[in-house]
Structure 1
Amino acid sequence: MSTRATGTVEMKSWDEKTWDGKPHNEVSGHKLTQGTMVGGYHGDLEASGETRFVMTYADDNNCESIGHELVNGALGDRTGTFVLQHVSGYHDGTVTGGFTVVAGSGTGGLAGLSGRGEIVWVEGQNGTYSLEYDLPS
């Protein structure tokens, strides 16, 4: 039986550059970028995460992204690390997306973790997440 975890996520740092190394906000219109984000999860998941993203912008207000995030902390009463694979979009100031726990990525008390979830993040605010997950007994 799956367990549901919910809470908020805050951005602690963000660094995004075009593929040729220019700051993303200095290039307008269609572009490809790569970024790194450090964030903090609060709620049922108390953890830090570092994500590497690759993004494709159609214009300055819309992009699609994929990324992998190493999460380190406590989920419920267990601690360890795991990796999330993100697929998301940024449209008119809001990020919406889904993520999946990468199979076999859990360590420590989170070994065997599986699950999937979603995130909504309005620019300038903390995001919200929900995760449906399973852990072996």
Structure 2
Amino acid sequence: MTTRAAGTFDIDSWDAEKPYEEENGVKLTRVRVGKTFHGDLVGGSTTELVTVETAAGPAAYVGIETVRGILHGREGTFVLQHSAGNDDGTPETQWLRWLIVPTSGTGELAGIRGEGEIIVTPDGGHSWSIDYTLG
């Protein structure tokens, strides 16, 4: 049975290195992000991202995020694989997806699988949802 979890998160840290590749207006940058989750997931995470910026602004990123916390009363860790971007630099064409990496769950979250999304709210906040199963 699939369960939906949802909530918000705060970005506690955003440590970007200088672009490691820059050519014809396209920049690639490594970023380390720290978050605090609220809602059906209470905890924190560390994320390693590679971002792509073009003349239109932020264009895409990929990343791996280790989440530590309590999800619907179950404590453990799991890893999220990020895939995100937009077509033209505007929020209207943005997509921000997560995939729970199979076999990455530990503790009471062992066997977790699923996928989710991040939504950037008009005020710049972040909400999230994940549809998951526990095996």
Q: Normalising to structure 1: TM-score of the pair?
A: 0.85
Structure 2 gap ranges (5+): none
Matched, 1:35 2:31: yes
Aligned to 2:100: 101
Aligned to 2:83: 87
Conservation of the 8 A alpha-carbon contact between 1:96 and 1:121 = no
Distance 1:35 1:124 in 2: 23
Distance 2:46 2:40 in 1: 18
User: Superposed, which structure 2 residues align to 1:1-137 within 5 Å?
Assistant: 1-17=1-17, 18-19=19-20, 29-59=25-55, 61-89=57-85, 91-92=89-90, 96-122=95-121, 125-136=124-135
Residue 123 of structure 1, CA deviation: 8.1
Residues 122 and 15 of structure 1: is their aligned pair in 2 closer, same or farther, counting only changes over 3 Å? farther
- Give SS of 2:108's match: helix
Structure 1 gap ranges (5+): 21-28
- Give SS of 1:109's match: helix
- Give SS of 2:102's match: coil
Q: Quick check: 124-133 or 80-89, which moved more?
A: 124-133
- Give SS of 2:104's match: coil
Identity between Structure 1 and Structure 2 (%):
38
Conservation of the 8 A alpha-carbon contact between 1:30 and 1:60 = no
Distance 1:54 1:62 in 2: 11
Q: Normalising to structure 2: TM-score of the pair?
A: 0.86
RMSD (CA atoms): 2.1
Residues 122 and 60 of structure 1: is their aligned pair in 2 closer, same or farther, counting only changes over 3 Å? farther
Paired positions, count:
129
Conservation of the 8 A alpha-carbon contact between 2:121 and 2:127 = no
